[in-house]
Structure 1
């Protein structure tokens, strides 16, 4: 039986300037019951929202299309809040845009590829709609 979810913890670098970066752990999540999306989970202390205090604050979760992550490993991809692009060497850059600011995070491309492969074992590419629960997705979208 295929796993209902995939979770990988990977190391990344938050790019603060051209010469300064900070290491952090990022959790990559994929759920078979939400087959079109991936989640990147960052520790609360990396929130751009000044209102969220690191003490007891929730983790920061970005949700975006699995296909965006896959495409961004090969070519610059993304519109709106999330952009993914290959970077020199073996890296991939993920740019996250919010009203509070922009975060640029560098990942090892191999870590992202391994995560995607595991997600494709859970739900093969082009089979996502067979696993999509449209009623549940609509209820979540409407906040019901």
Structure 2
């Protein structure tokens, strides 16, 4: 079984004059960082013209498909029937995208197969980190 999940999604950027009607994005989950998910946006979809990646809690994404979640840089909430809104807050401004809730739920189910919710701590690799720390100290 793969320890990395990548799932392309179509996100609709909410903006007064969007440059793209839909934005291709990729949701990622890696067992080596079991508490986090990432969403990557390609350069043409960003104001900076560079690839952008946001990392945030898997728990936040899971909670946000059913009820508003998040108070920091990333906020997630349901929107109407079948959509989830993701807000990304940065110094440059706020990006708001809509993603099909079914795509997010499918992604979360796949992540659950890799690391069951509540078992993330078992995949942190603390033994390897401790071994490296002790080796560096000697």
Taking structure 1 as the reference length, the TM-score comes to 0.82
Q: Which has the higher Rg, Structure 1 or Structure 2? A: 2
Question: 2:43 & 2:91 partners in 1: Cα distance?
Answer: 17
For structure 2, the residue ranges without an aligned partner over 5 or more in a row are 134-138
The equivalences for 1:84-95 within 5 A come to 84-95=76-87
Q: Which runs of 4+ in 1 moved over 3 A?
A: none
Give the deviation of 1:46 after TM superposition: 2.7
Match of 1:115 in 2: 107
Q: 1:9 matched to which residue of 2?
A: 8
Counterpart Cα distance in 2 of 1:47 and 1:24: 9
Equivalent runs, 1:29-44 vs 2, <5 Å: 29-44=28-43
Offset at residue 24 of structure 1 (A) = 1.0
Q: Partner of 1:29: helix, strand, or coil?
A: strand
SS in 2 for 1:89: coil
Secondary structure of 2:60's match? helix
Q: Residues of 2 paired with 1:96 and 1:5: CA distance?
A: 23
Please report how far the alpha carbon of residue 22 of structure 1 lies from its aligned counterpart in structure 2 after TM superposition: 2.2
Query: 1:142 maps to which residue?
Result: none
1: distance between equivalents of 2:125 and 2:14? 37
In the alignment, the residues of structure 1 paired with residue 21 and residue 115 of structure 2 have an alpha-carbon distance, to the nearest angstrom, of 33
Quote how far apart the aligned CAs of 1:117 are. Answer: 0.3
Task: Please give the root-mean-square deviation of Cα atoms over the aligned residues, in Å.
Answer: 1.9
Length, aligned pairs only: 128
2 CA distance for matches of 1:48 and 1:130?
39
The unaligned stretches of length 5 or more in structure 1 are 140-144
Could you tell me how far apart the structure 2 residues matched to 1:44 and 1:82 are? Answer: 20
- From 33, 55, 70, give the equivalent of 1:63: 55
